[in-house]
Amino acid sequence: MTTSSAPQRVFLFLQGPHGPFFARLARMLQRAQAQVLRVGFNAGDRAFWPDRSTYIAYRDTPELWSRTLQEILDRRGITDIVLYGDTRPVHAEAVAQARARDLRIHVFEEGYMRPYWVTYERGGSNGNSRLMDLTVERMRADLEQSDMDSALPPASWGDMRQHVFYGALYHFFVLALNRGYRNFRPHRAITVRKEFALYLRRLLLMPAQAVDRRIATWRIRHGGFPFHLALLQLEHDSSFQMHSPFGTMSEFLETVVRGFAKGAPTHHHLVIKAHPLEDGRAPIRRDLRRLARAHGVADRVHFVRGGKLAQLLDEARSAVTVNSTAGQQVLWRGIPLKTFGQAVYAKPEFVSTKPLRLVI
């Protein structure tokens, strides 16, 4: 891409984040003399890809995707594959075929290297990241040989309302304009109609939930008790589903509440913090009340809706999570952290390997 004599790179984009990010990235690649193509699986994919000449609509059943992808790779001379998340079925198949052909694999993901919203890696992300196999010593040695300056993190992580808005808009397109993609099956367990309704409800309730969150946080910070944090994730998120020992968030809550009841001093409290995008599809609050009562700690367990972590972390004694990106914020503050799933930061030098009852 840097000289006219170099072979032209051909980038095949698959599903991306809700919104215009992939289209903007593609335009930048085109300016660098690369060719871009996009496979869309539904009307939401199509809506955020304005260049019809580079758009390939996939309208067949998921079972035929493998064969169709092979034909695209052969006929179009693809050199690079770009995707958002590497575990949903259509992407997992693409990664497998790309590896067999020794193609470059560019994986974007929800920004698990905070404070950025999007993370980029070659080959895989989360539990499939190359960072999983790197020791801390190797990381340190590689960084010493690198002459790349680290960019200063932004003061703000972005507007959550924009994230929710694009999610609602994407699912509206799929819900209302998807007649041309009758064989489309969402990679989530719920229907597109339900997904859209949850996004819309989340968007409308954001002001009221912000008030609820501030009140709950104030009560905890001024409650006069030491507390421990449990950082929840979205139950349907790929990092939770594919790289953890739990099938549901309720299973994780059971482990945490039981460990807290057995190991924590009786004057300590447990704060359960929901993911900022939690939309109610998993009955977290109901399950938490049931578990707290069952283990005799109902008066010492608190629930906080999403929001920023800083205020709670400033006074937390320890934290526990499956493999949330928020674990990095815990580590930055030197707070003891226990993880249960695979995460790029879950190295023995950083996280606790003790039983949960000894951490909290």
- Per domain, the residue ranges of the chain are 10-132, 209-358
pLDDT per residue as tens digits for the range 283-338: 999 999 999 999 999 999 999 988 778 889 989 999 999 999 889 889 989 999 99
How far is CA 345 from its chain centroid?
A: 15
pLDDT for 152 equals 64
Distance CA 294, CA 23 (A): 50
pLDDT for 161 equals 76
pLDDT per residue as tens digits for the range 173-220: 998 999 999 999 887 667 777 878 877 887 787 888 889 889 999 999
pLDDT for 155 equals 55
Tokens standing for residue 89: 């079925």
User: pLDDT grade, residue 259 (50/70/90)?
Assistant: very high
Distance CA 27, CA 33 (A): 10
User: pLDDT grade, residue 239 (50/70/90)?
Assistant: confident
Task: Answer whether 82's CB lies under 8 Å from 14's CB.
Answer: yes
Q: How much of the chain is helix, strand and coil, in % rounded to 5?
A: 45, 15, 40
Mean pLDDT, rounded, for 241-265: 94
How far is CA 265 from its chain centroid?
A: 33
pLDDT per residue as tens digits for the range 132-165: 989 999 988 988 888 777 666 665 556 677 877 8
Residue in 49, 42, 103, 45 with CA at minimum distance from that of residue 76: 103
Q: Looking at per-residue confidence, does 98 or 344 come out higher?
A: 98
pLDDT for 207 equals 85
CA distance readout (Å), 311 to 132, 149, 214, 273, 329: 30, 30, 10, 12, 12
pLDDT for 22 equals 97
Task: Answer whether 279's CB lies under 8 Å from 249's CB.
Answer: no
Q: Looking at per-residue confidence, does 347 or 187 come out higher?
A: 347
Average pLDDT taken over every residue of the chain = 89
pLDDT for 356 equals 79
Q: What percentage of the chain carries pLDDT values higher than 90? A: 64
User: pLDDT grade, residue 5 (50/70/90)?
Assistant: low
Task: Answer whether 13's CB lies under 8 Å from 165's CB.
Answer: no
Helices (H), 282-326: 284-294, 310-313
pLDDT per residue as tens digits for the range 78-97: 999 999 999 999 999 999 99
Q: What is the CATH number of domain 209-358?
A: 3.40.50
pLDDT for 55 equals 98
User: pLDDT grade, residue 118 (50/70/90)?
Assistant: confident
Other beta carbons within 10 Å of 204: 12
Q: For 68-71, which contacts have Cβ atoms below 8 Å and span 24 or more sequence positions?
A: 69/39, 69/93, 69/94, 69/97, 70/97
Question: Between vectors from CA 120 to CA 115 and to CA 126, what angle results, nearest 5°?
Answer: 80
pLDDT at 54 over 80: yes
Mean pLDDT, rounded, for 254-268: 95
User: pLDDT grade, residue 1 (50/70/90)?
Assistant: very low
pLDDT for 47 equals 97
pLDDT for 189 equals 64
Is the domain spanning 10-132 CATH 3.40.50.2000? The answer is: yes
Laid out side by side, the sheet with 55-57 consists of 55-57, 35-40, 10-13, 80-84, 104-110, 118-122
One fold for both 10-132 and 209-358?
Answer: yes
Give, rounded to a whole angstrom, the gap between the first and last alpha carbons of the chain: 53
- Among 107-121, 154-168, 200-214, 264-278, the minimum mean pLDDT is found in 154-168
Distance CA 19, CA 176 (A): 17
Helix (H), strand (E), coil (C) string for 25-43: HHHHHHHCCCEEEEEECCH
User: pLDDT grade, residue 238 (50/70/90)?
Assistant: confident
pLDDT for 43 equals 97
pLDDT at 272 over 90: yes
pTM above 0.75, yes or no: yes
Distance CA 158, CA 308 (A): 12
Tokens standing for residue 229: 């944090």
User: pLDDT grade, residue 76 (50/70/90)?
Assistant: very high
Task: Answer whether 43's CB lies under 8 Å from 169's CB.
Answer: no
